[in-house]
Chains A and B, each alone.
Chain A
Amino acid sequence: MLLVAVILAVVAGVTTYAVADSPEPGPVAQLEAHPGGEAFLQGAGVNASDATPAFSLQNGETVSVASSGANRCVVHTLGGKATGRCYPIAAVAQGEDITVFDECGSSGKHLMEISGLAPAGTVTVRLVESDGTSQTTSVAAGAFRFEGTNPVAGGPYPTAAEWVASDGSGSGRAPLPVSGGRFCV
């Protein structure tokens, strides 16, 4: 009996160590394992259809929010196709989930939409432009969005999002995942 208990304890210990020591697979591995727009959601065990819709973008995309353990997930859905990814809370504060969408083709409306998750306690997000000007938007269902048009050549362009708490104080700043002049690649 004692021997069985010892063996079980050793197996449990080894398993716990192995799980704790396993690094989370990177985005490339996740995409290989779960091909498709929902690759990073499936990798985190999230079903896109279970996400709570936060708002719709002008291009028709619906932006939804879901939770997976300590992670928060953002889901973009258009025409039944979903893309998205989950992020640890700390990564949300650093703006790692922020997406900048640009409709750059001649047939489109030159829409630019910036969306993402807001850290807990954030009620307003301020979008800062390269010329120092800014605009604000309210947080809805833990997410935010800005809509505008593609930056014109030589003109100002958005550079960062700032988190603003209910008392008006800033609680952090996150750079956008695009540099000036690269919005339409």
Chain B
Amino acid sequence: MIGTQRPAGKRSAERIKNAGRSRRFVVAGLCAFAVSLFAAAAALAFNEFYGNYEIGNGGYVSSAGAHTFRSNVGAGANKGQLACQLFNGSTNNVSHGNGSCGVTYNGGQYVWARVYDQSGARENVLGYAGT
């Protein structure tokens, strides 16, 4: 039995090696956790630029789809009237402004985002909606 025991120096070296492995494992775990948290946060937060092209009076630029948007901001190249909208079948929040507009919605439903050109002329319009 005694003959199978490893020398004390070797055992100590092995312990240090195992401790290093454990530390690496913990660090890797923490990194994975951090990455998953970041991915979850990224999945929850959704922002979208849309439009940024010229439209005529009464026309609009629109988000690609509905989302749980809480804010929608519009900007026009001139100081003309714009209307920002967040809407679905039952919700329709609209905010009017000169040269820019911003509308908020706190209902938690999926809504579309649009920006209307109400300037009376053609205008380059950009929208930005975020959850």
Which A residues are closer than 8 A to B by beta carbons? 26-28, 30-32, 35-37, 39-40, 60-61, 76, 78-79, 81, 83-85, 95-108, 176-179, 182-185
**A28–B104 touching, CB < 8 Å:** no
Query: With A28-B75, A79-B104, A99-B101 in contact, is A179–B49 under 8 Å at CB?
Result: no
**Chain B, interface size: which category?**
35 or more
B8 CB to closest chain A CB, in angstroms? 61
Q: Which of B73, B81, B124, B128 has the most CB of A within 10 A?
A: B73
Q: Does B85 contact A (CB under 8 A)?
A: yes
Instruction: Tell me which residues across on chain A come within 8 A of B82, comparing CB atoms.
Output: 177
**Please, how many angstroms separate the alpha-carbon atoms of A35 and B97 in the complex?**
18
- 13 A–B contacts from the bound complex (CB under 8 Å): A27-B100, A28-B52, A28-B76, A28-B125, A31-B73, A36-B73, A78-B104, A96-B79, A96-B99, A101-B93, A101-B103, A102-B93, A105-B93
Q: Sorted from nearest, which 8 A-B pairs have the closest CB atoms?
A: A83-B102, A27-B75, A105-B92, A78-B104, A104-B92, A107-B90, A178-B96, A105-B91
Q: Does B98 contact A (CB under 8 A)?
A: yes
Q: Which of B70, B98, B114 has the most CB of A within 10 A?
A: B98
Q: Does B77 contact A (CB under 8 A)?
A: yes
**B104–A76 touching, CB < 8 Å:** yes
Instruction: Tell me which residues across on chain B come within 8 A of A76, comparing CB atoms.
Output: 102, 104
**A178–B83 touching, CB < 8 Å:** yes
Instruction: Tell me which residues across on chain A come within 8 A of B102, comparing CB atoms.
Output: 37, 76, 83-85, 99
